[in-house]
Structure 1
Amino acid sequence: MTDFQIRYGAEVAEALRAGLPVVACESTIVSHGLPRPDNLRVAREIETAVRANGAVPATIGMVGGELVVGLDDAQLTRLASTDGVAKLSVRDLAVAAATGADGATTVAATSAVAAAAGIGVFATGGLGGVHREAAQTFDESADLVTLARTPITVVCAGVKSILDVGATLERLETLGVTVVGYRSRRFPGFFITDGGFDLDWSVESPEQAAAVLAARAAHRVQPSAVIVANPLPVDEQLDPELHDRTLADGLARLTLDGVTGKAVTPFLLAYFHSATEGASLAVNVRIILRNAALAAQIAVAAAATTAPATTAPATTAAGTTAAGTTAAAERG
């Protein structure tokens, strides 16, 4: 009988057993979010940023149908350089595993897998959300519903500015997902510092963010995610006028080319890259590296106040596989 358990990288398995801070990282940025060869370089830089701030990176993806928490460099290289890597949301995981696919996990899938593995902090660039014209198309990212039922902390730069940001914030409120700004009461706009919307709450330090997570765990009444929205400094953002012009042109091209569904985001990100002559790519890289660093700092602060889990992934001669991890998702 085929074994569909989650496989853990050796370093991640040991860190979870020891109660060390761990940060989940997605793999869609490797396979779908950045152009080659920058994608592999940036994937490695993300892991370096996590390590430099005291945590263990756990990049999540699927290799040959095997769901891996803590991809090694060879596996990262495979997902970064192979054509036809599937983009996996939560709904796709079982089918991809059964058919032996290579796949990169989205925010939704990475969040769900990380929480199941006992990892409580996840670094990404920007969330998916409600698409423009959603009133007609009903096009909304699975990220939102998954975050509503997943006790994970997501450090991001808001939602991608190609989406309907206001509608996304309304949906997050309806779904009971907490959104706090990091040292800001304004919601960031991914490529730009200010997305144009106020926030009710902010935290001023990794320790304060960790205290929010501890309170959520202690209350045991909130099953949903906490989003820590980390804006770029003004001097590191994409020029707002260039951003607005590029976005308008890109949206017009979507309609002309008939691009819909999950192809919209990679199409628009690629358009931003070409139309801004690489400026948006540089900003995108700054975003994810800053978020990886902050996520690691939060994970370190959270781990300092949380005891190691009593159940951890089992180690085998072939590597590490899940044996019923029940680690608390609130720890780093």
Structure 2
Amino acid sequence: MGRFTIRYGDHVTRARRDGRPVVALESTIVSHGLPRPDNLRVAREIEQTVRDNGAVPATIGMIGGQVVVGLEDPQIEHLAGADGVAKLSVRDLAVAAATGADGATTVAATSAIAAAAGIGVFATGGLGGVHREANTTFDESNDLTTLARTPIVVVCAGVKSILDVGATLERLETLGVSVAGYGTYRFPGFFVTDGGFDVDWKLDSPAQVADVIAARADQGVGAGALVLGNPLPADEQLDPELHDRTLAEGLELLARDGITGKAVTPFLLAHFHGSTQGKSLEVNVRIILRNAALAAQIAAAATPAPAALGFALPA
């Protein structure tokens, strides 16, 4: 085994040995997505939600250059509290490993690592996507191209509503990524229930999603992800008028301050958290907990189907 081979937390090792369902979780929400000290508390709540719904949580991150599938609690606490934790997409993983970095994995990196580890279901908040004004900036998240070649079910609340949702759906179609709504033909809008666009498919239960996993394995056609949009109930969403007003203000600030590239998403999310007096943060937490619960139910319904996605479980 090489120096940089993926390592597994003890609880994930036991789950793989015993054939129990496992759900992948990202670590950027811990280190970059939520303010301290809420981030550590929420990270633990996410893992417990997965357990409560019949699966084993595998939070993925990098500690001292080592990719770990199933961070132990002290490691999660370290990523939640340490300064200088790198934000790792797929292209960063080898360089970060070679330099001994501590890092938190994005949707793209978490998906790729989870698939390499034989984990077929991943819960996150919202996907990255095509940024506004991408026709001139060419700014598009690596989440999209990674999902095009990664066989995993991603349970999310759509793409972050600060992005160009319509253009993102068009790119997902072009890239051959399957998209379905959970209980709806409308694509969710992250902070809000309805993102303003239709999807072609609706799936109504964890068992039905598990059947999709099985069908793709049996057919042997298609190598990309299934993006499952799980909308918030209308009574739990951020007030749509507040959302639209806050977004418009944030976009004006971006243009005024010349903020571009990787800085756009964290800036706008921080603006939402501040301008809504914490209401968007509460919604963000509800999103990830609901998605973690649904992902665990899917993983439980699909077991052992995720192991049949086209690769063998590592020893």
TM-score, normalising length from structure 1?
0.92
Q: Is the 8 A contact 1:23 1:55 kept in 2?
A: yes
Relative to structure 1, the CA distance from residue 167 to residue 83 in structure 2 (aligned partners, 3 Å threshold; closer, same or farther) is same
Q: Is the 8 A contact 1:31 1:85 kept in 2?
A: yes
Q: AA paired with 1:115?
A: A
- Residue 182 of structure 1 pairs with residue 182 of structure 2: yes
Relative to structure 1, the CA distance from residue 193 to residue 64 in structure 2 (aligned partners, 3 Å threshold; closer, same or farther) is same
- Residue 62 of structure 1 pairs with residue 62 of structure 2: yes
How do 1:235-250 and structure 2 match up within 5 A? 235-250=235-250
Task: From 309, 312, 315, give the equivalent of 1:326.
Answer: 312
- Choose 65-74 or 259-268, whichever is displaced more: 259-268
Q: 1:231 corresponds to which residue?
A: 231
Paired with 1:281 and 1:208, the residues of 2 have a C-alpha distance of 31
Q: Is the 8 A contact 2:191 2:280 kept in 1?
A: yes
Q: 1:260 corresponds to which residue?
A: 260
Q: 1:314 corresponds to which residue?
A: none
Q: 1:15 corresponds to which residue?
A: 15
Q: 1:288 corresponds to which residue?
A: 288
Q: 1:317 corresponds to which residue?
A: none
- Residue 152 of structure 1 pairs with residue 149 of structure 2: no
Q: 2:220 corresponds to which residue?
A: 220
Q: For residue 184 of structure 1, give the secondary structure of its aligned residue in structure 2.
A: coil
Q: AA paired with 1:225?
A: A
Paired with 1:48 and 1:137, the residues of 2 have a C-alpha distance of 40
Q: 2:135 corresponds to which residue?
A: 135
How far off its partner does 1:308 sit?
6.8
Q: Is the 8 A contact 1:23 1:299 kept in 2?
A: yes
Q: For residue 159 of structure 2, give the secondary structure of its aligned residue in structure 1.
A: coil
Relative to structure 1, the CA distance from residue 8 to residue 128 in structure 2 (aligned partners, 3 Å threshold; closer, same or farther) is same
Paired with 1:85 and 1:284, the residues of 2 have a C-alpha distance of 21
Q: AA paired with 1:127?
A: L
- Select the structure with the greater relative contact order (CA < 8 A; seq sep ≥ 6): 1
- Residue 272 of structure 1 pairs with residue 272 of structure 2: yes
How far off its partner does 1:306 sit?
3.7
Paired with 1:29 and 1:47, the residues of 2 have a C-alpha distance of 13
Q: For residue 301 of structure 1, give the secondary structure of its aligned residue in structure 2.
A: helix
Paired with 2:42 and 2:182, the residues of 1 have a C-alpha distance of 23
Paired with 2:93 and 2:263, the residues of 1 have a C-alpha distance of 18
Q: 2:209 corresponds to which residue?
A: 209
Q: Is the 8 A contact 1:19 1:307 kept in 2?
A: no
Q: Is the 8 A contact 1:17 1:308 kept in 2?
A: no
Paired with 2:22 and 2:114, the residues of 1 have a C-alpha distance of 10
Q: Is the 8 A contact 1:96 1:103 kept in 2?
A: yes
CA RMSD between the two structures = 1.4
1:211-262 Cα offsets, whole Å, 9 max, x none, are: 0111011111110000110000000000000000000001111112222111
Q: Is the 8 A contact 1:60 1:68 kept in 2?
A: yes
How do 1:181-200 and structure 2 match up within 5 A? 181-200=181-200
Q: AA paired with 2:117?
A: A
- Residue 98 of structure 1 pairs with residue 84 of structure 2: no
Q: AA paired with 1:6?
A: I
Q: For residue 61 of structure 2, give the secondary structure of its aligned residue in structure 1.
A: strand
Q: 2:301 corresponds to which residue?
A: 301
Paired with 2:296 and 2:305, the residues of 1 have a C-alpha distance of 15
How far off its partner does 1:169 sit?
0.1
Q: Is the 8 A contact 1:27 1:105 kept in 2?
A: yes
1:106-138 Cα offsets, whole Å, 9 max, x none, are: 000000000000000000000000000000000
1:267-321 Cα offsets, whole Å, 9 max, x none, are: 1111100000000000000000000000000000000x54978xxxxxxxxxxxx
Relative to structure 1, the CA distance from residue 264 to residue 308 in structure 2 (aligned partners, 3 Å threshold; closer, same or farther) is closer
Paired with 1:279 and 1:146, the residues of 2 have a C-alpha distance of 31
Q: For residue 119 of structure 1, give the secondary structure of its aligned residue in structure 2.
A: coil
Unpaired stretches in structure 1, ≥5 consecutive residues: 310-324
Q: After TM superposition, where is structure 1 displaced by more than 3 Å over at least 4 residues in a row?
A: 305-309
Paired with 2:221 and 2:19, the residues of 1 have a C-alpha distance of 24
Q: 2:24 corresponds to which residue?
A: 24
Q: Is the 8 A contact 2:118 2:307 kept in 1?
A: no
Unpaired stretches in structure 2, ≥5 consecutive residues: none
Paired with 1:295 and 1:45, the residues of 2 have a C-alpha distance of 14
Q: AA paired with 1:96?
A: A
Q: AA paired with 2:313?
A: A
Paired positions, count: 312
How far off its partner does 1:2 sit?
6.6
Q: Is the 8 A contact 2:118 2:306 kept in 1?
A: no
Q: 1:167 corresponds to which residue?
A: 167
